[in-house]
Amino acid sequence: MAVSVFTGPSIFLITLFYFIPVLLTLLIAFTDMDRTLQWRFIGLDNFLRLFGVSSRDPFVPRIIRNTVIYVAGTLPLTIFGGLFLSILSMRLRRGMGLFFRSIFFIPRAIPPVVWGFLWAWSFEGTRYGLFNGIRSMLGLPVIHWLIKYPMVIVILANGFLGISLSMLVFSSAIASIPTDLTRAAEIDGATRWQTTRYIIIPLLKWPILTMTAWHLMSFVNSYVYIMLITGGGPYYRTEVWSLYAYHTAFNRYRYGYGASLTTILIVVNIVLLLVVLRTFGLRRMIGRGKIEV
């Protein structure tokens, strides 16, 4: 009884704001709902169009390519960048390391609109942008950054946000490693690189798994910062799957087709999560250790 009293509100909120929207999305995906909010059941027509079986959506191949490039760029930047900065900051003196991590965590405290505006302004294609302003003072020509390098910019903007969280988690995990292990390695003549490779990184397997799964799901579903910085442009060059689903549903008012895009995204999330867990060997990680008698 006591358990139900404490867990009841959480279960209610999760059901109301997660399970019910997911079920409604799945239902709408099989309809032709549009801006009139009237719909009729059309079966798999939306999904057949996605896969080019019936009437083909010409933007789907480009959207898939953009999504793969975006995730493949942001995820390694987030994990390896956060791991590198956490190890580096833990090598510094306590006060200096804390200051270093605080500086890199600032992006997490900035509202998304402000963060997106700062990146859009920094790479503004006129002399009023930050980097073009610096180039103008040096006598260099203006570069249209958001036209020439839009995908690189959104990868960096989202990657830096991921780095800040990964760095915090990895730093906390490194701080919990017993100092006896690293000191014993140093006494045996291990270098800092060897200590990091053979002691610290293997002991960070759980945090690395958590951050990889978390950020993989986050990047596959993210669209806010891309929408704020480039809007998916120019000419669909940064339009990823989640942003395409948003534009289809709420800009073009094709709710049925947008819901089918979101449904595919849900399936992709589940598959990718299972792949990550299998890659890291979750069953082996949580398995009981063998005790020799």
Q: Tokens at residue 157, please?
A: 């903007």
CA quadruple 95, 98, 104, 109: dihedral sign? negative
Q: Tokens at residue 217, please?
A: 């799901």
Burial profile 143-175: b = 16 or more Cβ within 10 angstroms, e = fewer? eebbeeebbebbbbbbbbbbbbbbbbbbbebbe
The pLDDT value recorded for residue 158 is 93
The pLDDT value recorded for residue 4 is 66
Average pLDDT of adjacent 10-residue blocks, the chain of 293 residues = 70 87 90 87 89 82 95 95 89 81 84 92 90 91 93 94 90 87 82 85 90 93 93 92 94 92 92 90 66 41
**Ordered domains of the chain (ranges, CATH):** 15-56+255-281 (no CATH), 62-250 (1.10.3720.10)
The pLDDT value recorded for residue 292 is 43
DSSP assignment of 1-22 equals: -HHHHHHHHHHHHHIIIIIHHH
CB-CB contact of 261 with 241 (8 Å)? yes
Rounded to the nearest angstrom, the gap between the alpha carbon of residue 233 and the centroid of all alpha carbons in its chain is 19
- Phi and psi angles of residue 31, each rounded to the nearest 5 degrees, phi first: -125, 175
DSSP assignment of 89-148 equals: HHHS-HHHHHHHHHHHHHHHHS-HHHHHHHHHHHT-SSTTSHHHHHHHHTTPPP--HHHH
pTM greater than the 0.75 cutoff: yes
The pLDDT value recorded for residue 19 is 87
The pLDDT value recorded for residue 50 is 86
How far is residue 133's CA from residue 126's CA, in Å, rounded to a whole number?
Answer: 8
The pLDDT value recorded for residue 287 is 63
The pLDDT value recorded for residue 293 is 36
CB-CB contact of 170 with 176 (8 Å)? no
Q: Tokens at residue 237, please?
A: 């060059």
- Per the document, the length of the chain is 293
The pLDDT value recorded for residue 212 is 94
The pLDDT value recorded for residue 2 is 53
CB-CB contact of 225 with 158 (8 Å)? yes
How far is residue 42's CA from residue 229's CA, in Å, rounded to a whole number?
Answer: 36
Three-class SS of residue 185? Answer: helix
